Amino acid sequence: MKKIFFISTVSLAAIVMVSCGDDVKRTPGKDYMPDMRMSRAYETYADHSNLADKGINYKPEPVVGTVSRGEELPYHLQNNEEGYAQSAAVTNPLPDLTELEMTETDRLYQINCAICHGAKLDGNGPLYKGGAGPYAAKPATLVGDPNIEKLSEGTYFHVMTYGKGVMGSYASQLTRKQRWMVAKYIKAKQAGAATPAAGGTNAADSAAAGGATTATTPSK
């Protein structure tokens, strides 16, 4: 038994010694695309103009048809009168806002827009305060002014992107998606204000109806 154990130990030691020797032929294998596994290191802003002379395929331009991060929902109209006029025909690329998205958009509006246009979109924000605020001119009334309500969501987006009149651009405060969300939010608020409560009429309609009845009822 001891003899067998001794032979096994010696054989194992010999195998280990042979395996660790330098005479063993080593084959590193083959890489299908070695440049991807062991790519050349180049500084991002270094001069790459001579790489083609070295046989290195390098193209600094983005792939045709791709959109860089943060540049989704591209908008190509220019900041001029023609661009403003064309914005009326631009369709909002976003679907209707969900309840959660409406809540988030309301937060964005209150942070960025309410200071001028008012929390209720009535143009009576803290900067105006009914004429007592720092701004003497009342900002646009987003809900209740027919001239503003007839504008399209594309025009709202255009104005938020470039600004108009005394209003500056909000492109640095709101992403393109957020600006489109705010445009939908404004239209939703306008539609809600224009819809009368179920089963109810306003005072003017009631008075008109009463007056018409009195006028057509024969006196006794």
Give the C-alpha separation, 164 to 189, whole Å: 22
Residue 6: how many other CB atoms lie within 10 Å: 10
Per-residue confidence at 51, pLDDT binned at 50, 70, 90? confident
Give the C-alpha separation, 143 to 138, whole Å: 14
pLDDT tens digits for range 151-164? 999 999 999 999 99
Buried b (16+ CB within 10 A) or exposed e, 165-201: eeeeebeeebebebbbbbbbbbbebbeeeeeeeeeee
- pLDDT of 216 over the 60 cut: no
Average of pLDDT values for 14-36? Answer: 65
- For the question of whether the overall pTM of this predicted structure is more than 0.95, the answer is no
Average of pLDDT values for 133-146? Answer: 92
* Mean of pLDDT over the chain: 81
- pLDDT of 210 over the 80 cut: no
Q: 178 to each of 58, 146, 160, 202, 220, how far by Cα in Å?
A: 36, 24, 10, 35, 64
**Is 97 or 11 the better-scoring residue by pLDDT?**
97
Determine the pLDDT at residue 23: 52
pLDDT tens digits for range 70-86? 678 889 999 999 999 99
Nearest CA to 180 out of 81, 82, 72, 86 is that of 72
**Domains of the chain, each with CATH number or no CATH:** 101-194 (1.10.760.10)
Average of pLDDT values for 10-27? Answer: 66
Nearest CA to 92 out of 165, 158, 20, 25 is that of 158
Determine the pLDDT at residue 121: 97
Give the C-alpha separation, 62 to 66, whole Å: 7
Angle 28-33-36 (CA atoms, 0-180°, nearest 5)? 100
Per-residue confidence at 16, pLDDT binned at 50, 70, 90? low
Give the C-alpha separation, 6 to 207, whole Å: 117
The DSSP string of 121-149 is: SSS--TTTGGGTSS-SSPPP-TTT-HHHH
Determine the pLDDT at residue 148: 97
Determine the pLDDT at residue 95: 96
pLDDT tens digits for range 165-205? 999 999 999 999 999 999 999 999 999 988 765 544 444 44
